[in-house]
Structure 1
Amino acid sequence: MRRFGEDFFQQKTKRIVIIGLTVLLVVVSFYSFKSIQYADRFLPKTEINHIDVGGLTVDQANKKIDAELSDAPFAIQLNNTLWKKIKRSEFGWQQDYMNELIGIKEQQVPFAWGIRLFSGSQHQLASTYDQTQVNQLIENFGATLLQANLTRIPTKNASIEWGKKSFVIVPEKKGNTIDVAAVQKVLKQNLENGKQSVDAEDYYAQPVLTKNDSNLKKQKDKLNQFAKMKASYTISGQQVKIPSTELQSWLTTNEQAEISLNQEKVTAFVTKLNDEYNTKVNATQFNSTRRGSVAVPAGIYSWSVNIPAEVNELSAQILKGEDFNRVPIVESDAPNVQTTIGNTYMEIDLQNQHMWYYKEGNVQFETDIVSGKPSTPTPPGLNYLVSKSTDQVLRGFNDDGSKYASPVSYWMPIDHTGVGIHDSNWQSAYGGDLWLSRGSHGCLNTPPERMAELYPILEVGTPVFVF
């Protein structure tokens, strides 16, 4: 009984082995047969320019590519409708890929056809077109897209704007405008690589900056620091503040979130500053010795703001992000002109017929004078000591037209019209109302002995207030 069971088991095992070997032989034979077939054909799932040529000979593959690329329509879609349908043959497409196809096939390993059933392979062959026609098509479609974008909602990057109390980030906004450059690029690629269409609606413009951009957040914080900046000018002895609200309105950012200033607004502010404070047109407020605050008209010691230069310097100063007080860059015919006179100057009070010389705030000299008579009054104005000389003869015309020549020991002109300070040995007294009856031709007559004291201590370029 045991012997019978063992024989049965052995016979069953033998049959299983025979069946297995038979199946294996069939599979190997079939795989070998297919390998021989693929010796002159492309392996399964071989794609060339997105066209399946698996199982085809080189000649068959070349004809299929020719048919599908040359004659098959290529569709360009816009607004979910067909904008244009073309054939590649209309653009001088290169039809014969025979040499390239032979090269791809020769690189195949026919016995690997089974593996290719799962992995496949893709190849891209360069196409030759009439580039002039292709470029014209791309340009025309680009122009159409630009026109279409005019009626679409634009995509906006996240940006920084002034809120109620501080700068805030305004989130990006996705629109439906088309990324023209992207569509043009894909149109060319698809035309060359075997795809059959391109749809512009697949390429909406995307925001470059989003509300979560770390650099944008840093710039927002920096802008808020700028908004708190204390900025001012010292001009004509006054503090002129740049209002924080105005400064905030100048700050802006570009597409890269870089901080800059609105140059038109900065220029408008500097222009207004010049209009209000320049001394070529405006009078200078002066705290006089006897009459308190007086307005001294413009004279030759005058200035105006150099607007382009000041706009550049002010912008650079602001972008440092630090509190500042500055003096504007000015232009003037006077040497070393200052927007704030300071504590060294000559003061000539025509009403009181008196003259003072202050140096660093201290009186160094003072005297009564005789100014111009009513018919030739001394012109008021903010001037400066133009030059100094000795032993001069002053010449001019009297009221009746006759000439005069007056020798003086000390001559110090203070403007460009011939008005100056000089000694006058022909005057017997000074001050009071003498100018009404014995006044000069416009100069400041000074006692000779006092003039000898003033001449050596008064420096050329010293501002002279005449009022």
Structure 2
Amino acid sequence: MGYDVNDFQDKLEKELENYVGGPLPDDDEFGRDNYDGDGLYDNYDYDDDESGDKKNRIKTIIISAVLVLTVVLVGIYGGFTYYYHNRFYKGTVINNTDCGRLTVSQAEEKIRKNVENYELKLKFRGGEKKDIRSSDIDLEYIPDDSLTNLRKSQSPFLWPKGIFGGSKKYNFKANITYDENKLDQIVSYIPQLQDENMQGPEDAKVEFLDNKFQVTEEVRGNKLDKGKALGFIKKAIDSGQKNLSLEKAGAYEEPKVLSDDKNLQTQAAQLNELTASSITYQLPQGDQVLDGNTLRQWLFVDDNGNYSKDDDVWNQHIREYVQNLAESVDTYDVDTKFQATGLGEITVKGKFGFQINQEAEAAQLLDELSNHTVTTRKPAFSQEAPTYENNGFGNSYVEIDLSRQHVWVYKDGALAVDTGCVSGKMTSDRWTPPGIFHLTFKKSPSVLRGAKRADGTYEYESPVTYWMPFNGGIGLHDATWRTSGQFGTNIYKNRGSHGCINLPLSKAKAIYEIIDESMPIICYYSETYNVAPAEKKADETKEAPTASPDEEKKQDSDTTKEKDKTKEEKKKDTPAPTKTPPAPTKVPTPAPTDPPVTETPTPTDPPAPTNTPEEPSPDQPTENE
């Protein structure tokens, strides 16, 4: 039931005209200009003798009008009260369905149809969408007393609340049902909820970029809180909501610190002032940079995130940094990695490689940091290998495996010489110690002499064509007294040399032509070994100390004079040819079964005894080869 206000106004005017017996004055002749403020129009043209009666008539008209209006309003209110006795207030929304002015049965039918056609549109960050339809989850509306009770709670006498109080939403979960397992399964397979497709948020932070500290933007990412997302979806379905933005709902994990954070801006400014240096260390294993990323960790940070420098703490960090740098770089006289031929990586040790002078480096670093220096340099070394390549060994070196009794010589990364050898006998007075060495010098030809007698002669003189000492009296040389079948075998264990590396003549020549002082000589045992005690024999000939190059020249000169007696001796003293040196046709008397070495080695590991002959004298038994 409704009421037309315009119709009511027309009827009221007609009643008043009938009452006054004529038409009512219009706005122009009964306007505001004739109004005296007390509800009367004093300037209206009344006759003086009739003015009192007319005023009374007007008052009566107004009172009557008010009474009529009251009756009309009461009628209207009564009509709407009756109208809403079984209907919902205007603006009543139930489960996202407008049920205003509907009866309970009409509302239930409308809700049922909306549920049947229900579709929830999910919106993800980045504009991606996903629809969940009622048929996917067996969504249905089951009428119960919810709507009836809601209708009863809306008193028909308070129906103006629906008109003047705005709309009011009422949501009831009890009358909407769906298969939660199906919903959980659908949600679990949504691509945007898969771990591999989600990127977590990252807070804005201070980072060292382009040689200075800057505040980098936060990363919002697209990582959803799965529990929250499912909760918001269920809540939307229960209420009949048709569109759900998971971002607006707050289902995404968000960064906690944003780039406009004042503390971050302050930190960046402080760090740029305190850590302006950048030192790029050129190391064997590659460059290492010391810059603000590390220096910031040496600073003190208060509770407000402000940075400051404590000199004692700063200096301690410098010492620790240099110590750690040395531990990563130093290879001098410590176990060092080496790529052994046919074996792969092993460890070797010797007086070779790199060693940082920690005191000098710490002092230099402190000065550079104080002056905000930006530079690229090597550390302050106390020992330095000739190259950074191959852990300091470079690509030209001599490799001797004393277990496999083999020598490899590499030149510019290519294998140049590959040969078997015979090293020292495995007794403490004759074994070949492992280590890393350099060539002392090389000479061709040379004479290895025994101890000098009182009369000026030597116990023995044994010429070799190629002599290459590298560890005191230990060196590489040709050993023509050995058969080819002895090289590269286990003969060294019981019939080895007195420490030198015996080689076939042609191989000694090839090595002699390649080797120089810059090439490291790496000696190692690739297998477990035992060194037996020295053999003490009364008739054992003592080895003479190695002569210096100048002394050797004088000795060679003396020997030459003695050998000038025969043409054969002259030929033996002639320098070796450039290509293939001739093997001696006659061994000088006394001819040893194994030519003697000059001086006992001074090995880096277990010391070898002094004055031990490299090779036996002629009267020694053959087992001492």
TM-score, length-scaled by structure 2: 0.36
Larger-gyration structure (1/2)? 2
Greater RCO (CA < 8 Å, at least 6 residues apart):
1
The structure where strand makes up a greater share of residues is 1
